[in-house]
Amino acid sequence: MLAVEYFGTMSLHVLPTADDLAAAAAARIADAINTTDRTFSLGLAGGGTPAATYRRLAKAEVQWSRVVMWLGDERWVPHDHEESNTRMARSTLVDHVLSAFLAPDTAFGDPEEAAAHYGDALREAFHDGRPDLVLLGMGDDGHTASLFPGTDALAAEGAYLATWVEQKGLWRLTASLPLLASAREIIFLVQGESKAGVLAEIIDDGRPYPAQQVAAGAANVHWMVDEAAASRLRSVPR
Ligand code: 6PG
């Protein structure tokens, strides 16, 4: 694994394959939990990338009884829907370990109301109101969680919000930029050639995509990527 330190608050870890990435990320998460002696909040990313990490984490030696898991974002679909992040997180991790899991209720009322309720519940669950460790993915347009470029969601002040995502034709619930940036630690999990261009624009040029805005505002950020995603980085010694 190649690790490069930036400015003391951000590090880049390049792993040879997607499997190595999942193993390294699971090890980092397990270590962060096991070296903390209190209740630990773990924010889960949605989408497809993290599933391999969650499956490894479910088999790791972790003190799950102290962990509260929650979702960085959720699609406005029932929990048994194939697009549901709750469904993905439960099938790969949550249902296999003895930890608490807070999921947004996507079966009642309207998205804004559900987002507000969920944000209130999260604030209560976090140690000193701040998430401990948040896993985030990144789209090839630089979005993270459900904070998409050029949307009002990026300016939201509260903890959690509902946002209509035109390109997905769906309502989504998402942690706000300030909430994500308040995390004690963030791990961006990025894999695959399709992300290489936007990753290089963020790491090499600081292009203010939503993922970069979250990283820039946070205290301790690890970009954990595979070589395919890192393939267009100029700043990585070859
Ligand atoms: C979601 C995620 C989203 C995801 C990226 C990357 O609900 O889809 O939270 O931000 O992390 O879209 O998705 P992949 O990992 O599937 O490429």
Assigned token pair, 3: 């690790």
Assigned token pair, 136: 């985030």
pLDDT tens digits, one per residue of 1-44: 677 666 668 899 999 999 999 999 999 999 999 999 999 999 99
Going from the Cα of 46 to the center of ligand 1, the distance in angstroms, rounded, reads 5
Domains delineated in the chain = 3-226 (3.40.50.1360)
Ligand 1 site residues (CB inside 6 A) read 45-49, 72-73, 85, 137-139, 143-145
pLDDT tens digits, one per residue of 85-144: 999 999 999 999 999 999 999 987 899 999 999 999 999 999 999 999 999 999 999 999
3-state helix, strand, coil in the chain (%, to 5): 35, 25, 40
* Amino acid identity, position 217: G
Q: Are 4 and 223 in contact (CB under 8 A)?
A: no
SS3 readout for 11-42? EEEEECCHHHHHHHHHHHHHHHHHCCCCCEEE
| Strand (E) or helix (H) holding 118 | helix 111-125
Distance CA 202, CA 215 (A): 10
What's residue 236's pLDDT?
76
Distance CA 17, CA 31 (A): 21
Task: Work out the percent of the chain whose per-residue pLDDT is above 90.
Answer: 92
What's residue 229's pLDDT?
98
Going from the Cα of 48 to the center of ligand 1, the distance in angstroms, rounded, reads 6
Residue identifier of the C-alpha nearest atom 15 of ligand 1? 49
Query: Of 73, 83, 167, which is best to mutate to test ligand 1, by the most ligand atoms within 8 angstroms of its C-beta?
Result: 73
Going from the Cα of 67 to the center of ligand 1, the distance in angstroms, rounded, reads 23
